[in-house]
Every structure is written in structure tokens, then in C-alpha cells.
Amino acid sequence: MAKSVPTSGYDLTGKAAVVTGSSSGLGRAMALELAKRGADILIHTRQNIDGANETASQICSLGRECHVAVLDLADDNNHELLINEAWNWKNIDIWINNAGADVLTGEAAPWSFEKKLDNLWQVDVVATVRLSRLAGQRMIERMTADDAGVILNMGWDQADRGMAGDSGEMFSTIKGAVMAFTKSLAQSLAPKVRVNCLAPGWIKTSWGEQASDDWQNRARSESLLNRWGTPEDVAKVATFLASPAASFINGQVIPINGGFKYAATTKA
């Protein structure tokens, strides 16, 4: 049976989406927002199976189909495995590369700068590049200009201007690479696949909940709206970019930060 393909607005009925790193945080918020608009969702996690199942439960409660994939994207061998698992489930219309290495909290917090950088490069850059190319090729084989596939990557709103300190040096390098890759891939895959990049600013995920008063003040002071962003703020932009309403937006990096305001000089 042919898919029901929406042609306008935010309706994603009949679409299938993959959101990597969707067991919690930004990934879960994006998966749920896409599902609210009618998309079926493949949920991916590295190891948080309970979190992935919770995301799946919420998606199922919306009446959408879902599938859980458990793979470590730091392992190059798992990239094609995830692509195959996704397309064996459904023909994928929307692919969001949200998964990223956590080097700020947990077991990675005391690692050396070099080890953190290597881990970020493998997960945030190499996996994004390989999965985007593989997914893009699958999409381009069957899409038409009137039924374009969508790939969304994750950048950082300060990557293009920099931030002092170890974290700033690491994330500007990593996310700057993703942002530059996005613009080139958009040219490679047009017009059958649109490729854009989200560039969140200070978003209150689990790290933000536990951040010190200095970081709380900085996050608010660097936004013209004087507040942290939320995962839902990012999810709504992602859903717009994935929808037919954004059919003429391609090869762009979209800041999601309430309007950046230069104010603080704290080093990370």
C-alpha cells in the first residue's frame, strides 16, 4: 500500500523517522514531537534500554508505531547495522543524528582532553557523517523532489564564534565540523533530500539541571530571552524542519538560543 504523503503544513502522517540518542533529553523530546505530528519512530540508544522503552511507551500512547534499536555508534561497524535495521523496519523519511558522546558528566568527566576529543570525534562527527551518507543514499534511491527525505544534524550555536576553555575548544571543533559537513551534504543530496543542522544554545537537559549557580546565571544572561531553552524548544524546530512546511529550507544551520547576547566570560 502506498504511503499517505502530506503535502503541506506540519502533518507527518505516513512518515517514518529515526532519532538517534532518543532514550532521554533532546532526542526523546524530538521523537515525541515528531510522533505527535503523525510520524512512526525508530528510537535508538547506546545502552539506556529502560529510557528507550519509556520513550517507546510514550510514543505508543500517541497511537504511533515504534521500534527500539540498541547500538554503540562509537563502533564503525554499527553504522550500517543501524541503517539496515531501520530500513528493514520501514522506509525512512526523516533521519535525525542527535546521538552525542557525553564527556562532561559520569565516567568520562575525569578523562583527559585528548580522550574526550577522540570520543566526541567518533560519535558526534564520524557517526553523523557515515549515517547521513548512508541514509541519504537510501533516501535518494526512492525519493522525488515532491517527496523529499530529510536529514537533521546537531551543531552548537557558539561553534562559529568560539568559547574559551577546554569544553569550548572541544565542542567548537566537533560541532563546527558537523555544521560544515551539513552544508556540503545538502548540496550533494539536493533536490531529493533536504539536509539542515540544528544549533542549540543553552538547553536545560540533565546537565543543566545540575549546573552550578555560575552556569545557571551565564545561560540566562547569554540569551536575549533571559532563560534556558528547553528540549521542547529544540523539538519544535526539528519538527518544523522535518515537515513539508520547511520544504524550501535546505543547507542551513538554525540557531536555537533565544537570540545570543554576549555577556559572560566564564571559561569551561
User: What pLDDT sits at residue 3?
Assistant: 52
Distance (Å, whole) CA 11 – CA 5 = 9
Regarding the domain with residue range 16-256, which homologous superfamily does it belong to in the CATH classification? NAD(P)-binding Rossmann-like Domain (3.40.50.720)
Q: Which residues contact 178 (CB under 8 A, 6 or more apart)?
A: 124, 125, 128, 153, 154, 155, 197
pLDDT tens, per residue, the chain with 268 residues: 345 444 458 899 999 999 999 999 999 999 999 999 999 999 999 999 999 999 999 999 999 999 999 999 999 999 999 999 999 999 999 999 999 998 888 888 899 999 999 999 999 999 999 999 999 999 999 866 567 899 999 999 999 888 899 988 999 999 999 999 999 999 999 999 999 999 998 888 777 677 777 878 887 888 899 888 899 999 999 999 999 999 999 999 999 999 988 754 444 5
User: What pLDDT sits at residue 142?
Assistant: 81
Residue pair 119/48 in contact by the 8 Å Cβ criterion: no
User: What pLDDT sits at residue 10?
Assistant: 86
Q: Which residues contact 104 (CB under 8 A, 6 or more apart)?
A: 167, 207
User: What pLDDT sits at residue 2?
Assistant: 43
Residue pair 122/46 in contact by the 8 Å Cβ criterion: no
User: What pLDDT sits at residue 1?
Assistant: 37
pTM score: 0.91
End-to-end CA gap in the chain: 53
Per domain, the residue ranges of the chain are: 16-256
Residue among 206, 186, 201 nearest 252 (CA): 186
* DSSP per-residue codes, the chain: -------STT--TT-EEEETT-SSHHHHHHHHHHHHTT-EEEEEESS-HHHHHHHHHHHHHTT--EEEEE--TTSTHHHHHHHHHHHHH---SEEEE------SSGGGTTS-HHHHHHHHIIIIIIHHHHHHHHHHHHHHTT--GGG-EEEEEE--TTTTT--SSHHHHHHHHHHHHHHHHHHHHHHHHTTTEEEEEEEE-SB-SHHHHH--HHHHHHHHHTBTTSS-B-HHHHHHHHHHHHSGGGTT--S-EEEESSSB--------
Residue pair 52/255 in contact by the 8 Å Cβ criterion: no
User: What pLDDT sits at residue 172?
Assistant: 95
User: What pLDDT sits at residue 221?
Assistant: 84
Residue pair 141/194 in contact by the 8 Å Cβ criterion: no
